[in-house]
């Protein structure tokens, strides 16, 4: 059953707790919102088959006009890096401001969803890697590699520790080579494992066994761990993001998108208007700077003597720095790039903004959705 649905008559949909948990769940949710000092911003409704909670119309008009969640922290003066509760506040408010309905079978499942999003943001902030689409490295102490199974855990090595050592140079002292897509998988996997350690140790043990046997990657990783919300037919607003979302910025230039690794950019939304930059973690992207970077890939594309198409990142950096000195040029670039992307295979008038976002599936005992081979 789909995690997200769009009620036709409700412009702001927020979240929904199912009927079997509506009585105790709604009270626990209200207590939770009280703890975060958010209850004054929400509207609660009995929807027959459960309880729905969303932000009020007044809050939406003032703080999330046209479902723009990128200025929530600035407008509410939240400090998500210094105060963990502020990060939870931003996550919850963005969920409650959703144009689609997030369905949860219990309050506990809702809490786990918030926790995993918080974990993703925290882990993504300290992740730093070396960009490489052709080679991959992992700490040899923790990982084996076989073409058929990918990188698997060595016997006795805990998954959480291995993932931290691989993605966080503060723990390992080294930058390991990754593509942006694989990097997001490792951050998601770590964030799920951390929540399972608290709420569902039995599934964490299954996850550990899975990675000792075979890595789950690419399309299968998406199918096993993630739910995609929004669609080409029913796109999300261009500025609607929830901290912890995984999303794709598409390269709308046909030539440079033929360079491996430059088809687009997989990132996480960190909140406060910022998106991950795994290659320069101290320089996260804003929506504007990400649009400018993607735009200039086309201006840094060249062919080698043997005919291979490449992008010169130094040229990209120089062109971006030059553009950022001219606000009018940035406005022109952003107005072009901030359009919803064209369909796959089409390079027309579309921009770099995807119509969907991705979030983690349910993980709690009894309502979890994670199923593994091992």
User: How do the domains of the chain map onto residue ranges?
Assistant: 4-105, 127-229, 246-355
Residues in the chain, total: 374
State the pLDDT at residue 8.
39
Tokens of residue 363, six digits: 């993980």
In tens digits, the chain (374 residues) has pLDDT values of 345 544 433 479 999 988 665 557 788 999 999 999 999 999 988 877 888 999 999 999 999 999 999 999 999 999 999 999 999 999 999 999 999 999 999 999 999 999 999 999 999 999 999 977 677 889 999 999 999 999 999 999 999 999 999 999 999 999 999 888 999 999 999 999 999 999 999 999 999 999 999 999 999 999 999 999 999 999 999 999 999 999 999 999 999 999 988 999 999 999 999 999 999 999 999 999 999 999 999 999 999 999 899 999 999 999 999 999 999 999 999 999 999 999 988 899 999 999 999 999 999 999 999 998 86
State the pLDDT at residue 4.
52
Chain Cα centroid distance, residue 76: 22
**pTM for this prediction:** 0.94
State the pLDDT at residue 235.
94
State the pLDDT at residue 180.
87
State the pLDDT at residue 5.
47
State the pLDDT at residue 9.
38
């Amino acid at each position: 059953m789909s995690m997200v649905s769009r009620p036709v008559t409700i412009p702001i949909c927020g979240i929904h707790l199912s009927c079997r948990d509506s009585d105790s769940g709604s009270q626990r949710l209200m207590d939770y919102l009280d703890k975060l000092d958010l209850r004054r911003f929400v509207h609660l409704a009995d929807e027959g088959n459960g309880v729905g909670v969303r932000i009020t119309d007044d809050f939406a008009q003032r703080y999330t006009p046209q479902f723009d969640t990128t200025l929530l922290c600035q407008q509410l003066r939240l400090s998500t890096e210094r105060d963990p509760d502020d990060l939870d506040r931003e996550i919850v408010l963005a969920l409650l401001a959703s144009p689609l309905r997030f369905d949860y079978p219990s309050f506990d499942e809702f809490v786990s969803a918030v926790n995993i999003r918080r974990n993703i943001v925290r882990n993504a902030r300290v992740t730093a890697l070396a960009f490489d689409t052709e080679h991959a490295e992992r700490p040899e102490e923790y990982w084996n590699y076989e073409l058929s199974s990918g990188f698997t855990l060595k016997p006795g090595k805990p998954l959480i520790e291995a993932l931290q050592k691989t993605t966080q140079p503060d723990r390992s002292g080294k930058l390991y080579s990754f593509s942006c897509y694989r990097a997001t998988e490792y951050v998601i996997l770590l964030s799920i494992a951390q929540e399972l350690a608290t709420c569902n140790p039995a599934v964490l043990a299954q996850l550990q066994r899975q990675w000792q046997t075979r890595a789950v990657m690419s399309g299968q990783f998406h199918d096993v761990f993630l739910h995609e919300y929004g669609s080409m037919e029913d796109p999300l607003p261009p500025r609607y993001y929830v901290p912890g979302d995984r999303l794709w910025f598409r390269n709308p230039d046909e030539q440079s998108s033929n360079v491996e690794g430059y088809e687009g950019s997989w990132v996480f939304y960190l909140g406060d208007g910022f998106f991950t930059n795994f290659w320069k973690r101290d320089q996260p992207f804003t929506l504007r700077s990400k649009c400018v970077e993607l735009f200039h890939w086309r201006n840094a594309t060249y062919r080698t003597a043997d005919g291979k198409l490449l992008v010169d990142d130094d040229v990209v950096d120089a062109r971006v720095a030059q553009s950022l000195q001219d606000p009018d040029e940035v406005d022109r670039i952003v107005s072009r790039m901030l359009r919803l992307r064209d369909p796959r295979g089409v390079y027309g008038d579309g921009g770099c903004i995807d119509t969907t976002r991705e979030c983690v599936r349910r993980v709690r005992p009894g309502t979890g959705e994670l199923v593994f081979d091992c």
